[in-house]
Amino acid sequence: MCDGRTPTPEELPSCYEGTDWSGCTLQEFMDCPYNLANNRQVRMLADLSLVGCYNMSFIPENKRAQILLESAKKNLKDMAFFGLTEFQRKTQYLFERTFNLKFIRPFMQYNSTRAGGVEVDNDTIRRIEELNDLDMQLYDYAKDLFQQRYQYKRQLERMEQRIKNREERLLHRSNEALPKEETEEQGRLPTEDYMSHIIEKW
Would the pLDDT of 119 be above 70?
yes
Whether residue 200 lies inside any domain: the answer is no
Whether residue 148 lies inside any domain: the answer is yes
Of 38, 29, 65, 37, nearest to 50 (Cα)? 65
d(CA 31, CA 34): 9
Whether residue 149 lies inside any domain: the answer is yes
The separation between the first and the last C-alpha atoms of the chain, rounded to the nearest angstrom, is 83
* DSSP character at residue 189: P
d(CA 87, CA 83): 8
Q: What pLDDT score does 178 carry?
A: 66
Whether residue 107 lies inside any domain: the answer is yes
Whether residue 194 lies inside any domain: the answer is no
Of 46, 44, 16, 48, nearest to 30 (Cα)? 16
Structural domain count of the chain: 1
Whether residue 142 lies inside any domain: the answer is yes
Whether residue 59 lies inside any domain: the answer is yes
Higher pLDDT, 91 or 182: 91
Whether residue 16 lies inside any domain: the answer is no
For residue 106, the one-letter residue type is: P
Per-residue pLDDT band at 201 (split at 50, 70, 90): very low
Per-residue pLDDT band at 195 (split at 50, 70, 90): very low
d(CA 32, CA 113): 26
Please, are residues 116 and 100 in contact by the beta-carbon 8 Å criterion?
no
Q: For residues 169, 170, 174 and 175, what is the CA-based torsion angle, rounded to 10 degrees?
A: -30
Per-residue pLDDT band at 96 (split at 50, 70, 90): very high
d(CA 91, CA 83): 5
Residues in the chain: 202
Which residues does residue 5 pair with via DSSP β-bridges, in sequence order?
Answer: 2
Judging by beta carbons within 10 Å of its beta carbon (0-12, 13-18, 19+), is residue 5 exposed, middle or buried? exposed
Q: For residues 71, 75, 77 and 80, what is the CA-based torsion angle, rounded to 10 degrees?
A: 180
pTM, 2 dp:
0.78
The domain in which residue 65 lies consists of 26-174
